[in-house]
């Protein structure tokens, strides 16, 4: 894998290792989203920094990666990545416990402006000087 890491697949998930993150397990919908979107190669999420944490609102789970977090709940039935300015604003709004709920689609960006769909609305973020597309 890129940046000196390695991985090994098992029936119940995948163990991914790097010197910076150690050995971490990805599994279920989060593991499938992480490895499936990039055909098993390391994507922009980077390496996992911790194991999956469950027990969130709506029986959801998350897993921290180098550049953000994947979130999943049985209500959304998909693992979606949240990062950068959108993650910061969503956290200010209460995250999974707030009025926006869980992410249901990955962020879309153009011209320095990004937005991401959540269960109950859209969170937007713009870099200084950016214009919505």
Buried b (16+ CB within 10 A) or exposed e, 55-89: ebeeebbbbbbbebbbbbbeebebbbbbbeebbee
The pTM of this model reads: 0.86
Q: Note whether 107 and 83 are within 8 A (CB).
A: yes
Higher pLDDT, 22 or 117: 117
Please tell me the distance from the alpha carbon of residue 95 to that of residue 108, in angstroms, as a whole number. 19
How is residue 54 written in tokens? Answer: 């469950």
**Among 28, 22, 36, residue whose Cα is nearest residue 10:** 28
Q: What's the domain count of the chain?
A: 1
133 in a domain, yes or no? Answer: no
Distance of CA 111 to the CA centre of its chain: 22
109 within some domain: yes
pLDDT band at 55 (very low <50, low <70, confident <90, very high): very high
Per-residue model confidence as pLDDT tens digits over 61-106: 999 999 999 999 999 999 999 998 899 999 999 999 999 999 999 9
Could you report the per-residue pLDDT of 9-29, keeping only the tens digit for each? 888 888 888 888 889 989 999
Domain that holds residue 97: 2-126
Q: Is residue 45 part of a domain?
A: yes
| pLDDT exceeds cutoff 90 at 37 | no
Report if residue 131 sits inside a domain: no
């Amino acid at each position: 894998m890129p940046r000196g890491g390695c991985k090994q697949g098992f029936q119940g998930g995948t163990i991914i290792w790097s010197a910076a993150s150690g050995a971490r397990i990805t599994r279920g919908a989060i593991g499938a989203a992480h490895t499936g979107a990039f055909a098993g190669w390391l994507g922009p999420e980077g390496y996992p920094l911790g194991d999956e944490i469950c027990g969130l609102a709506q029986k959801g789970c998350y897993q921290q990666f180098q550049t953000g977090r994947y979130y999943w709940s049985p209500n959304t039935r998909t693992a979606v990545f949240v990062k950068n300015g959108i993650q910061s604003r969503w956290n200010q709004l209460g995250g999974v416990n707030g009025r926006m709920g869980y992410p249901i689609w990955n962020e879309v960006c153009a011209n320095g402006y990004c937005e991401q769909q959540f269960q109950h609305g859209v969170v937007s973020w713009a870099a200084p000087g950016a214009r919505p597309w």
